[in-house]
Structure 1
Amino acid sequence: MAQALNQDPQLVEDFLVEAREHLANIEARLLEIEQGAHTPETLNSAFRSFHTLKGLAGFLEYNVIQEVAHEVESLLDLARNDALQLNGPIVDVVLQSGDFLASCLRSIEVNKLKAEPPPMEDPAALLDRIRQAAATPQGLEGAADEDLEDRDTSLAMERPKAGGLEPSRESSTGSDAAQLEPAAGPKRSEASLVKIETGKLEYLVEMVGELMIAESMLHHNPDLGEARSPRVQRDLSQLARVTAEVQKTAMAMRMVPIGTLFRRMTRLVRDLARKSGKSAELELHGEDVELDRTIVEELADPLVHMLRNALDHGLESPADREAAGKPAAGKVRLKAAHQAGQIVIELSDDGRGLDRGRILAKAVQRGLVSADANLSDSDVYHLIFEPGFSTAEKVTDVSGRGVGMDVVRKHVSRLRGRIEIASALGQGTTFTLRVPLTLAIIDGLVTIVGGVRYIVPIFAVREMFRPTPERLFSVEGRGEMVLVRERLLPVVRLSRRLGIEAKSEDPCEGVMIVGESEDRQYCLLVDELAGKQEVVIKSLGPTFGEVRGVAGGAILGDGRVGLILDLATLFGGIEHAA
């Protein structure tokens, strides 16, 4: 007996990749239609995606997917021929069909290695709804609203895996933005895109990192350094140039446009706004900004939690907004940009803003700060990141339990990033996330303490200087302080933090590094500086992965291992200087 086509792992994998691209395209096109910013080609693009899904599913004998895709295709064909009005409830039905097909794909993904067909949900109720929509020329009136109330809006925002793909599955070396619109515009030549497993790409990047380390060790090799042969020096220079180009290309292959993540938020905002009875518009800026695909994946959860809070607590109801002289529809803006070797992501709204007094009162009530604490606005706003902290008067199924914002801080810290908050009561709030371009390679400042080398990420360094006695102070309750640009900053002796013996206990014989973490500045005292170097980050494994103050390791040019410092945890627990 011949094996069924849907038992071929490669065919199934190819189907999952292409089907997810089409579902992403469908969702994007339907949201454009609902917002009125569309052309006839927009509807045709969604129609073609359903048509292609139907054909692919039929080929692999996924009958449930084929039947649902066929019914939605027929529905959209009526709209293409002006026999059906695509109003909000009709769009809901089509989007729910896409969600259903996405759940079918997840079932195939989980069960693809099993001999029996994957279990899928019963599509009868959905098919009835689609047929009812097709039989109502003027469009449905609220037929899908009840389902929207029961729908978990988190389904609209699955963790993005670089173009909708799961990790270690197939990915594309081309632009993910182009993948999201397979049916729109002229079709790209098949030869211009090569789909490869993400695992192979990650292995390639790892090997390029090893190549960089080997090249650096050659460059610092004393035997080669003493060589006077012009040919040897020329060959070493050529090797360095080629290695740098290969490294640059390999890292570019890991980069994806953040628009793949931003566009997913459009659906989330739409569903949250309708669920809460509010009107909201999402503006996207900087969708072409590229960053490491791993960071894109990790940013999904923080943005979801922040958008939930913005919609539920930030934006007022239409009536309250009009009473305050604002447009009935609130505005939420997502913006991304490059800045000083980092990616800056801003999430802002024009809602009620953060109430400093309420946040401080709640923090005092919970014992997080003392009643007489002298805190800046930034310090007060950052209290919302404490676990379980919430000023919501009532708990909703969207937010209000105080779980979420602490998750945001943990995720961003894990990415070696930081969060800044700016807010004006009655005008809105802006959250600014600063994260590195990549998690694989960083520019590091190599420091020495007690003969041991440590690497401080350059992005966290503000300046360096050798202190003088008149700039050093000892403040009661705060310990050692140093005067930097008319401001007293706490001093962190790296030797004491890591339990090693410093070259000298006199701070004037060492070097101060002004570092910044979570919007706070401190001075890190080290024995000396050994220079700047681009290093490949290596994991320390589960045994040492949780060591406080250490983010990873790196092999330096001379073959030694240097530990990469995590300034956020090194500086933790020190009071912020006024």
Structure 2
Amino acid sequence: MATKKKGAAGGLACKTPESPSKTSSDLQALAGSVAEPMSQTTRERQMAQALNQDPQLVEDFLVEAREHLTNIEARLLEIEQGAQTRETLNSAFRSFHTLKGLAGFLEYNVIQEVAHEVESLLDLARNDALQLNAPIVDVVLQSGDFLAACLRSIELNKTKTEAPPMDDPAVLLERIRAAAATPQAVEATAQGELEERDLAAEMERTKAGAGEPSKEMSAAAEAVPAETTAGPKRSDASLVKIETGKLEYLVEMVGELMIAESMLHHNPDLGESRSPRVQRDLSQLARVTAEVQKTAMAMRMVPIGTLFRRMTRLVRDLARKSGKSADLELHGEEVELDRTIVEELADPLVHMLRNALDHGLEAPADREAAGKPATGKVRLKAAHQAGQIVIELSDDGRGLDRGRILAKAVQRGLVSAETNLSDSEVYHLIFEPGFSTAERVTDVSGRGVGMDVVRKHISRLRGRIDIASTLGQGTTFTLRVPLTLAIIHGLVTIVGGVRYIVPIFAVREMFRPTPERLFSVEGRGEMVLVRERLLPVVRLSRRLGVQAKSEDPCEGVMIVGESEDRQYCLLVDELAGKQEVVIKNLGPTFGEVRGVAGGAILGDGRVGLILDLATLFGGAEHAA
């Protein structure tokens, strides 16, 4: 059994080759043919040690290995759900086989040995000598988790960070071998020996051709069934890997180009020019800049299916842990959005799915008693809508209990018993910190922490959440987030000579108020009548400490905005138009200013502050 040993580049190289001393090397050079030739095994080990200390090779290995682990998990979950085909099993088998070859090439012996044992197990299933039941799928998934932990250890060691202690691989290897040691498997041993020799020879060919990593990439691409990828299949020659930092810098520079083009467009000297050539050149510059910006933003876009498929394993494990039966349905996996938003959505979706499985879905016996199928349904759906991404998470469980939520909120002093709230406003109370109606706390949920985290994450993304629920039938959470965090379509407003940008997605309508539509309600402050509904007025000048042009609301403009399912009217002096702006971080000094989400350089060179309506409206009274 190989033991683990940390190296400079990889933390799981189990053997360290013995390098000949300098004196010995010199003697061999002088003696020429007299010196004893170095053994083939020693040469291979020295080569592997040199390769697994090459940062670029190790980085490529980590990327490829993680792609294979993602494919393995997806294929195994398909098999467990009864969607097994010959190609599904072959795909998982090829991924383990390729992992074994890559790990052997870089002499990550623990990864190689675990992958080899699982490969042998899956080979028995391929030969119909072993039935992949739930316990065996558990073993294979645990092997994938162990290999993922090995990759994390390698990555940490590469950055000189101390890696957490690894589990003993001997225990896992025993479980894998025990799973293969069934009567059926023993009978098929002789049948598999010949193919195993062929596989060993193929692994040697993989080592010999290790200077061509693109061949392994091709194997990885072939291991993923065509139906799991969106769009036409592309060859590896058409794909180029690039560091995330370089891509982010490119997008930032494209943003600067957009700002420069906008400043040229608004330059009064050029604007007064009547030269057709100047105007034609400016138009051409605007077209090229728009195309470059569009292409740069497209490079940041990734399919949301990569995130959705990660949730499949979560639902499976949580359902088994809670003794429930649940299926996860995925829709709109091909929808693309900014990579940063995909990463930020991971935590909210995890918390929401944990709550759906733990509190939303009933136990199988309770579902059958209510006339429902014993297996619950959880759906994740994504779609484009009005320049945003809409993500729906729904279940067919017990639904939200309005009365219970309201009673808990009154008990905690969040609202008064006399407050008249809509169903949506009551449901949004579950996002309050520490709010929970659970009768017992489990290791999955019940402490009232998760949904607060969800709201914070979605607010940080400049998004919003809507809730619809029917008691006894289920709940649907609808998340609306922008396509990208780099650029925003904004409504430029002016208050006291200062320009502020209101995100267009939060704007419902604009109007100039008249005296008969303005009211002052006791305990609720200024209100304005909008479409037969009284909405609170938020004077932007008073919120941000700016001197308004006039204190008379009728001389200003009202902007009806929406945040967390509540509508308000934002009072500004005037509107300066609509503009697409590049969002700039205000840094640590101004990053925590309440009501401001960031800054932008406008076409005339001035700086405009982007408003965070959720924070601005936070101090306003609830809408009726």
Judge same fold: TM > 0.5, yes or no. Answer: yes
- Do the aligned partners of 2:464 and 2:481 also contact (CA within 8 Å) in 1? yes
The more displaced of 114-123 and 95-104 is 114-123
- The reply on whether 1:399 has 2:445 as its aligned counterpart is yes
Tell me the residue number matched to 2:167: 121
Judge conservation of contact 2:48–2:106 (CA < 8 Å) in 1.
no
Q: 1:412 to 1:162 in 2, by over 3 A?
A: farther
Distance in 1 between residues matched to 2:427 and 2:190, nearest whole Å: 39
SS of the residue aligned with 1:477?
A: coil
Q: Go from structure 1 to structure 2 and tell me whether the alpha carbon gap of 1:14 and 1:231 turns closer, same or farther (over 3 Å shift).
A: same
Of 194, 199, 204 in structure 2, the residue corresponding to residue 153 of structure 1 is 199
Q: Following TM superposition, by how much is the alpha carbon of 1:199 offset from its aligned partner in structure 2, in angstroms?
A: 0.7
C-alpha distance in structure 2 between counterparts of 1:445 and 1:305, whole Å: 34
Does residue 260 in structure 1 map to residue 306 in structure 2? yes
Q: Is the 8 A contact 2:432 2:452 kept in 1?
A: yes
Change beyond 3 A, Cα 1:460–1:287: same
Q: CA deviation at 1:573?
A: 2.2
Assess if the C-alpha contact under 8 Å between 1:64 and 1:120 holds in 2: no
Residues 301 and 50 (structure 1), Cα distance of their counterparts in 2 relative to 1, 3 Å cut = same
Residue 363 of structure 1 contacts residue 369 of structure 1 at CA under 8 Å; is this kept in 2?
A: yes
Structure 1 residues 159, 433: closer, same or farther in 2, change over 3 A? farther
Question: Cα offset for 1:371?
Answer: 2.0
Aligned residue pairs total 578
* d(CA) in 2 for partners of 1:458, 1:156: 58
1:372 deviates by 2.1
Show the counterpart of 2:527. Answer: 481
- Check the 8 A contact 1:162/1:176 in 2, yes or no: no
CA gap of 1:83–1:177, structure 2 versus 1, over 3 A, is closer
Of the structure 1 ranges 325-334 and 37-46, higher mean CA displacement relative to structure 2 is found in 37-46
CA distance in structure 2 between the aligned counterparts of 1:156 and 1:564, rounded to whole angstroms: 58
User: What pairs up with 1:332-371 in 2 under 5 angstroms?
Assistant: 332-371=378-417
Q: Deviations over 1:259-316 (max 9, x none)?
A: 0000111100000000000000111111111111111000000110010010011000
Once residues 233 and 343 of structure 1 are traced to their aligned partners in structure 2, the CA distance between those partners, rounded to angstroms, is: 36
Secondary structure class of the residue paired with 1:361: helix
1:168 aligns with 2:214: yes
User: Does the 8 Å CA contact 1:359/1:381 hold for their aligned counterparts?
Assistant: yes
1:13-47 Cα offsets, whole Å, 9 max, x none, are: 00000000000000001111111113211110100
Native 8 Å contact 2:124 2:188 kept in 1: no
Rg: which structure is higher?
Answer: 2
Aligned residues of 1:473 and 1:481 also touching (Cα < 8 A): yes
Structure 1 stretch displaced more, 357-366 or 25-34: 357-366
CA–CA separation in structure 2 for the residues paired with 1:155 and 1:504:
84
Structure 2 length-normalised TM: 0.85
| Alpha carbons of structure 1 residues 170 and 390: separation in structure 2 relative to 1, 3 Å | farther
- Which one is further off, 168-177 or 485-494? 168-177
Distance 2:339 2:182 in 1: 44
Change (3 A) 1:179 1:483: farther
- Contact 2:101–2:203 (CA under 8 A) maintained in structure 1: no
Cα deviation digits, residues 477-533 of structure 1 (max 9, x gap): 111111111111111111111001011111111111110000111110111111100
1:205 and 1:250 in contact (8 A); partners too:
yes
Residues 555 and 305 of structure 1: is their aligned pair in 2 closer, same or farther, counting only changes over 3 Å?
same
* Residues 1:278 and 1:285: Cα distance change in structure 2 (over 3 Å): same
Q: Which range moved further: 466-475 or 545-554? A: 466-475
Whether the 8 Å contact between 1:215 and 1:239 is mirrored in structure 2 is: yes
Cα distance in 1 for residues equivalent to 2:233 and 2:292: 29
| 1:121 CA displacement | 3.4
Q: Please list the CA deviations of residues 409-439 of structure 1 after superposition, one character each: whole Å capped at 9, or x if unmatched.
A: 1101111111111111110111111111110
Please list, as runs of the form range in 1=range in 2, the aligned pairs for 1:418-567 lying within 5 A after superposition. Answer: 418-567=464-613
TM-score under structure 1 length normalisation: 0.92
Relative to structure 1, the CA distance from residue 42 to residue 178 in structure 2 (aligned partners, 3 Å threshold; closer, same or farther) is closer
Q: Structure 1's 410 and 182: CA in aligned 2 closer, same or farther, altered over 3 A?
A: closer
The RMSD of aligned alpha carbons is 7.0
Deviation digits for residues 459-478 of structure 1, max 9, x if unmatched? 00001111111111111111
**1-side partners of 2:509 and 2:156: how far apart?**
51
Deviation (angstroms), 1:136: 1.6
CA distance in 2, matches of 1:142, 1:376: 65
What SS does the corresponding residue of 1:158 show, helix, strand or coil?
A: helix
Cα distance change, pair 185–253 in 1 and its aligned pair in 2 (3 A): closer
Deviation, 1:178, is 7.4
Aligned-partner Cα distance in 2 for 1:517–1:443 = 17
| 1:131 has 2:168 as partner | no
Partner Cα distance (1:306, 1:236) in 2: 49
2:103 and 2:394 map into 1 onto residues whose CA distance is 41
Verify the 8 A CA contact 1:108 1:118 in the aligned structure 2.
no
- Seq. identity, %: 90
Question: CA distance change for structure 1 residues 155 and 329 in 2, over 3 Å: closer, same or farther?
Answer: farther
* 1:394 CA drift (Å): 1.1
- Does the 8 Å CA contact 1:176/1:256 hold for their aligned counterparts? no
CA contact (8 A) 1:6 1:60 kept: yes
| CA–CA separation in structure 1 for the residues paired with 2:147 and 2:509 | 53
Q: Secondary structure at the match of 2:207?
A: coil
Name the CA shift for 1:149/1:327 in 2 (closer, same or farther; >3 Å).
farther
Task: Indicate conservation of the 8 Å contact 1:89/1:145, yes or no.
Answer: no
Is the contact between residue 20 and residue 164 of structure 1 (CA under 8 Å) also seen in structure 2?
no
Contact 2:315 2:328 in 1 (8 A): yes
Question: Does the aligned pair in 1 maintain the 2:124–2:185 contact within 8 Å?
Answer: no
* Contact 1:445/1:457, CA 8 A, preserved across alignment: yes
1:86 and 1:139 in contact (8 A); partners too: no
3-state SS of 2:111 partner: helix
Looking at structure 2, the residues matched to 471 and 210 of structure 1 have their Cα atoms a distance apart, in angstroms, of: 44
